[in-house]
Structure 1
Amino acid sequence: MLLNVSYNNKEVTRKVDKAVGKPFTLKERWKMNGIGSPKLFITETSVEINNLLILDNNTNSCNIEMRPEGIIVRFRSLLETFALVIPYYKLTVYKGDFAIYSIYRDNHFIKVKSDTKAIQKYFRKMLDFKADNTPTSIGDL
């Protein structure tokens, strides 16, 4: 789900929290050595996201926030902040050639450069957390 999260709107916050869970507590963040990614440079996106990004001439970048039940990919266009909210059961990540990670949710995708060890380490942490916290069968729900 692609949302404008620029303003403090209770309805948008409720939708995000329902989809990916409430934010981690400070103690949990400390224990996990952080939940946010380094700055990620966008190389390619789906049409709907691209239509937002081409509105300004800034460098296209984003960051990822881990939540208990999914991730939030945030990026800016003009003076607005947008979020692609992805629950773990809909998240698909591919590592392509030339150090590119592709993040998919249904018909939305974002491809980012992974040219540093910090970015690769973050994606490993995120995918390990997803594997440990995604139900494997209906009985696990």
Structure 2
Amino acid sequence: MLANVSYNNKKITAEVDSLVGKPFALKERWAMGGIGSPKLWITETSIEIRNLLILDNNLDSCNVEIRPKGIIVRFRSLLETFALVIPYYKLTLFKGDAFVYSMYMDHHFIKVKADRPNIQKFFKKVMEIKSRNTPTALEDL
């Protein structure tokens, strides 16, 4: 789900929470060693996201938030904040050459540069949490 999350819209918030769960409590965040990524530089995106990013002349960047049932990739365009909400069962994560990670969901994708060790460590954490929280059978959904 790609949504504009700039404003406090209860309908969108409820939809995001139903897809990826409510945010972790502070105690859980400490235990996990943080739930947010460092600033990630976008190298390539799907056409729908690219059309949003080319509206301004800023450098394209995003960040990732870990939730109990998925991740949220947030990026800004003009004065708006957009979120790509990806449940774990739809998330496909690839590590490409030249330190690039690709996050895919349905027809959306975002490729980010991972040239620092803390970024690679963060994506390893995402994959571990995904493997623990992804249902193994259709009955588990």
The TM-score bracket by the shorter chain reads over 0.9
| Map of 1:32 onto structure 2 | 32
Unmatched tracts of structure 2, length 5 or more: none
Distance in 1 (alpha carbons) for counterparts of 2:139 and 2:11: 31
TM-score, normalisation: structure 1: 0.98
* Cα shift readout 1:36-85 (whole Å, capped 9, x = no counterpart): 00000000000000000000000000000000000000000000000000
Dislocated runs of 4+, deviation >4 Å: none
TM-score, normalisation: structure 2: 0.98
Aligned partner letter, 1:113? K
Q: CA RMSD in A?
A: 0.8
**Across the two proteins, how many residue pairs are aligned to each other?**
141
Are residue 109 (structure 1) and residue 109 (structure 2) matched? yes
Structure 1 residue 139, shift from structure 2 partner: 4.5
SS at match of 2:6: coil
Distance in 2 (alpha carbons) for counterparts of 1:79 and 1:120: 29
Aligned partner letter, 1:117? P
| Map of 1:60 onto structure 2 | 60
Unmatched tracts of structure 1, length 5 or more: none
Distance in 1 (alpha carbons) for counterparts of 2:88 and 2:15: 15
Q: Give me the identity figure in percent.
A: 71
SS at match of 1:56: coil
